[in-house]
Structure 1
Amino acid sequence: MCSAKRREIRAMVQATIRDGAPSLDIDPFSAEGLDDPHAIDAAIRDAGPIVRLEKYDVWFTGRYDVAERVFRDYETFESSSGTGMWNVKRAENWRKPSVILENDPPGHTKYRRIMASILSQRVVRRLTETFQARADELVDEVVSSAEFDAATALAEAYPLSVLPAAVGVQPEGVKYLLPYSNLNFQAMGPRNELYERALAAAEEASAYVAWQMRRDALEEGGLGHTIYAYVDDGEISEEDAGMLVRTFLSAGVDTTIFGIQFALLALAQDPASWSLLRDDPGLARTAFEEALRWNAPSPFIGRTTARETEIDGVRLEAGEKVVMDLAAANRDPQRWDRPEVYDLSRDTSGHLAFGTGIHGCVGQMMARMEATCLLSALARRVQTIELTAEPVRFHSNWLRGFESLPVKVTLR
């Protein structure tokens, strides 16, 4: 974001002091906010350690140090009231709360342990050969046409071709996963037009996912059946197992797709970074990690105060929602040097795109493996990559990515 744009947004911000903190008259979920999200992120981060957004009467923070503290203090900032803007204990939600994402210790601990085992480093290594073979095959198919939409042909097509199959999703059901997941994330934000459209579009998808969560609907040998083995061992109920399978179907696809999209965007915009990756495909993991820091695909996550507390001198009552603007925190100049620059030489450790602490994304190793397979396959096959038109943003309350990312490549 250019400094002129930041000054423009600052001039638009109506800031008053409320409860000892700035209160901002801006809307991250407006058309302007969705089209130029980093300007809004910067306004939230620059205003103070914690700010109140008047339109929604919700606390936001865009500061890295504050977000990290909130993540780690899970006893004060609970997840069981929902990870969006709404307190799911007080308001009706479109689905039952997740047993892992919207749960706190001690209940959360058991489900976290099970999912960590299902998605362990050993399991990810076992799947890597198959995932890499599919990445190589897809890249060969797509780049042969020289010009294509990288948002759909690569970033979307690849995760949808590997992860659902690994879970045991029926092939004919893959088409329902994106509408279902879109509703899952839209529902975390305001009940606006984006949410209403997603709700209408996902009616058939919701019915399918409810069916696909069941043990007898899953393909034998997949990760879904591995989850159900814990039912046979008496550790969890049949319903719990289905809810854990649902986590794969609702939270494990879109974020990976959009993370890969941002990596492809950065590499297409910056020939120097692409040259580094092309000459050393082993940098694929680094290219993905820096893309997540540079543009967090899941920019917000909410917590709720379980008790009265204080953040940098601002008093919060029990039951108040605090939304962490991870996209802003990942560009906090107090934490990162030249944060708006995509830089493959950067040490990205500590970025918050996957969260941190006991609620850090349990599927992050799988997402990293998928992205590494695809980006390394592309680097081995392609000499140059460049944008041929302006990317078209995908509008979402709770995700960032693209509907279209037109590129042109030359082959090695």
Structure 2
Amino acid sequence: MRGSTELDGRIVLEIDPFSREGLLHPAEVDRTVREAGDVVWLEKHGIWATGRHAVVEQVFRDYATFESSSGTGLTNIKKEANWRKPSVILENDPPDHARYRRVMASVLSQRVVRRLRDGFRDTAVEIVDRALAQGSIDGAKQLAEAFPLAVLPDAIGFSPEGRENLLPYSNLNFQAQGPRNEFYWAAVEESKSAVPYVDWQIRREALAPGGLGRDIYAFADSGDISEEDAAMLVRTFLSAGVDTTIFGIQFALKALAENPGAWAALKQDPGLAKAVFEESLRCYAPSPYIGRTTACETRIGETAIGAGEKILLMLSAANHDPRFWDRPEEFDISRDTSGHLAFGTGVHGCVGQMMARMEAITLLTVLAERADVLELAGEPVPFLSNWLRGFESLPLRIGRSVA
């Protein structure tokens, strides 16, 4: 997995982040790329990569030079066919990007998120109490997956039928951001019924009245966006807001189970749930990569980069950059986490981050209020994904005090 050389003024690495070995040792991949230089050339995939906080933030903010409209994965969607139509918000650039972002920002405003919180909390109580009754659980499935899949589809207005297709579709979306390897082709096979389901579900007539999906279509009624645009924005909930939230909650649960001091502090003050989640996002970003494409010739540090070249922004690596963070490998809920890049930053910062935060904070708060014991009960099994990090299973012991 290691090996680096210098060629024509560029640092060339043989490391492959998307190999099975790379996916099983993500911290080593992050560290190798970050410490090799401001920007490196990944020979295996013919792309640039950076894991340094200052460079990642610079690229995020310079959307004119580093565009999203060529795709945010490895595929240049202006040159190659992609498996789905481009997103009007994720794979779009200013000024056109702004009107779609305004729609989503309105639909997912603080007022809307606050309105949903009480109902989400009631569901969290049911799910946590069910877990407590069992004692030994798979936290990946019975908490981190169960809660978002119980609340988000209802909030959007999805039909109860066919929801088993949500995770296969989202998995395909993220696997497709990487190379066409074994993980991508397995996702293609798994999602054969999911793609037509989603095409059906994002239509206006398939969405329940009063949900966030119909709120998006209201902007089509007012002429702000087209009917097709509205469908693409509803699809964004599936392509960006399901797996990332699930895996983010998984990492927070694991961090608390491995850090008794943090769990005790959260138990004493459930209001620390936000601090727990933010430090977990910094320490274990569930979405570790995002891609950009150079719109023109440019330079990063001393390295010249041509137009139309892909650059992989390694968010998890940047979130551990010792040039920016003190003690970056430590999980510390007293840390000031402002500046972490798990949700991106700039004009393309995650538009659904308030919803993701509310979901995670709600579940962690309820867990702290109702459970006394939270421990690992076995070895977690990683989920291997080109573009995400998380767990297939997370064995936990959860319970109330017997005193």
Q: Which runs of 5+ in 1 are unaligned?
A: 1-11
Match of 1:133 among 122, 127, 131: 122
Distance 1:233 1:19 in 2: 54
Counterpart of 2:182?
193
Instruction: Report the Cα offset of residue 410 of structure 1.
Output: 2.6
Deviations 1:297-333 (A, max 9, x none): 0000000000111000111111000110101000001
Contact 2:65 2:295 in 1 (8 A): yes
| Aligned 1:138-287 pairs, distance under 5 A | 138-287=127-276
Contact 1:331 1:340 in 2 (8 A): yes
| Aligned 1:12-411 pairs, distance under 5 A | 13-411=2-400
Contact 1:72 1:357 in 2 (8 A): yes
Deviates more, 1:223-232 or 1:13-22: 13-22
Distance 1:41 1:94 in 2: 28
3-state SS of the aligned residue for 2:97? helix
Instruction: Report the Cα offset of residue 250 of structure 1.
Output: 1.7
User: Partner letter of residue 57 of structure 2?
Assistant: E
3-state SS of the aligned residue for 1:110? helix
3-state SS of the aligned residue for 1:16? strand
3-state SS of the aligned residue for 1:394? strand
Instruction: Report the Cα offset of residue 175 of structure 1.
Output: 1.0
3-state SS of the aligned residue for 2:308? coil
Contact 1:51 1:59 in 2 (8 A): yes
Q: Which runs of 5+ in 2 are unaligned?
A: none
3-state SS of the aligned residue for 1:178? helix
Deviations 1:20-57 (A, max 9, x none): 22100111111111111001100000100100011001
Instruction: Report the Cα offset of residue 384 of structure 1.
Output: 1.8
Instruction: Report the Cα offset of residue 194 of structure 1.
Output: 0.4
Deviations 1:102-151 (A, max 9, x none): 00011101000100000011110111111111111110111111110000
3-state SS of the aligned residue for 1:172? coil
Instruction: Report the Cα offset of residue 383 of structure 1.
Output: 1.1
Distance 2:8 2:126 in 1: 57
Number of matched residues? 401
User: Partner letter of residue 139 of structure 2?
Assistant: A
Instruction: Report the Cα offset of residue 95 of structure 1.
Output: 0.2
Distance 2:237 2:4 in 1: 40
Contact 1:19 1:315 in 2 (8 A): no
Contact 1:184 1:250 in 2 (8 A): yes
Distance 1:205 1:300 in 2: 24
Distance 1:42 1:250 in 2: 28
Contact 1:177 1:250 in 2 (8 A): no
Distance 1:187 1:355 in 2: 20
Contact 1:49 1:61 in 2 (8 A): yes
Contact 2:320 2:328 in 1 (8 A): yes
Contact 2:158 2:208 in 1 (8 A): yes
Given the two structures, how large is their TM-score scaled by the length of structure 2? 0.98
Distance 2:392 2:43 in 1: 30
User: Partner letter of residue 40 of structure 1?
Assistant: V
Distance 2:45 2:225 in 1: 38
Instruction: Report the Cα offset of residue 172 of structure 1.
Output: 1.7
User: Partner letter of residue 36 of structure 1?
Assistant: H
Backbone CA RMSD of aligned residues: 0.8
Deviates more, 1:44-53 or 1:135-144: 135-144
Distance 1:128 1:393 in 2: 30
Contact 2:131 2:398 in 1 (8 A): no
Given the two structures, how large is their TM-score scaled by the length of structure 1? 0.96
Instruction: Report the Cα offset of residue 233 of structure 1.
Output: 0.4
3-state SS of the aligned residue for 1:403? strand
Distance 1:256 1:20 in 2: 40
Instruction: Report the Cα offset of residue 173 of structure 1.
Output: 2.3
Contact 1:19 1:314 in 2 (8 A): no
Distance 1:164 1:332 in 2: 36
3-state SS of the aligned residue for 2:392? strand
